[in-house]
Amino acid sequence: MRLQCGIHQLDLSCAEFVSTPKIMGILNITPDSFSDGGRYYQANQLSLDLVLKQAEQMLAEGADIIDVGGESTRPGAAVVSEQQELDRVIPVVEALVKKLGALVSVDTSNARVIQESAASGASIINDVRALQRDGALAAAAKTGLPVCLMHMQGQPTDMQKAPAYTNVVDEVLDFLRERMAACVDAGIAKNRILLDPGFGFGKTLAHNLALLSNLKKLSALGQPLLVGLSRKSLLLQLINRQVDERLPGSLALALAAAERGAAIIRVHDVAATYDVLRVFDALKNQNS
């Protein structure tokens, strides 16, 4: 599948067929994200210079997409106002597109942020709430951009308090199927839809491992899968490592996702992930 993202095009064929997973570099322009919150602030003000420097580095290291987020969705995160999110996101999108020519996705659930991000040059809408907020679905359809729909049980404020499923794989599959249908009904073509199982969003360690083990089952929906496992708290449970010590574990998870057919892998550590995926690609081609 070739995904048209504005002026950019991504080859997102399943890993077992053609392409190596694409790398989405995480650029959280928030003061409170779990891993890099506040990193791009000086004197409590967002620094475009720091943002651009980081994005330029990620592109040089092999990132295909820069994912800009203006609202933290870590467990327990507070909701920010629409204006706060706009003030953070729009200048960054404009700068990344105009100065770096980057393919930018915007991590947002807000209808107005969707609209203004698209007008500012964003190429993908990446929504942890699967376009369920008021007006978000219509706004996304109007942009004509590809969308990524993620599964989340609950909301960031409470999603990790007591997540429960009868069968997590089947329930995530059913949810994503329903949201795909809603998008198609709203005028978003299937070839513009990406799916994300939502690792760490209303899931226990057992739920996350079940989803990763069964990632190929989610591929049965026929859409490219985006996977975000970088530095997540499941690694604290698995290997007892704090956020800044989770690179090896994150790379192991990225490789596991690639082996199971992920089309896009969303990461903090672009250079290391790039190297892992190049080795994976060489081995895959050797065996084909």
H helix count then E strand count, the chain: 10, 12
Active site residue 232: yes
Pairing of strands 45-46, 41-42: antiparallel
Of 11, 62, 1, 14, the residue nearest 259 (C-alpha): 14
Q: Extract long-range pairs of 137-141: CB within 8 Å, 24+ residues apart.
A: 137/182, 137/183, 137/186, 138/111, 138/186, 139/111, 139/112, 139/114, 139/115, 140/114, 140/183, 140/186, 140/188, 141/183, 141/186, 141/187, 141/188
Active site residue 266: yes
The one catalytic residue in 129, 232, 246, 260 is 232
Cα–Cα distances (Å) from 23 to 98, 106, 122, 253, 269, in that order, read 21, 15, 17, 14, 10
**How far is residue 134's CA from residue 117's CA, in Å, rounded to a whole number?**
17
In eight-state DSSP terms, residue 264 is E
Token digits of residue 159: 């999603």
End-to-end CA distance of the chain: 20
Of 246, 204, 209, 254, the residue nearest 229 (C-alpha): 254
Report, as residue numbers or ranges, the catalytic residues. 232, 266
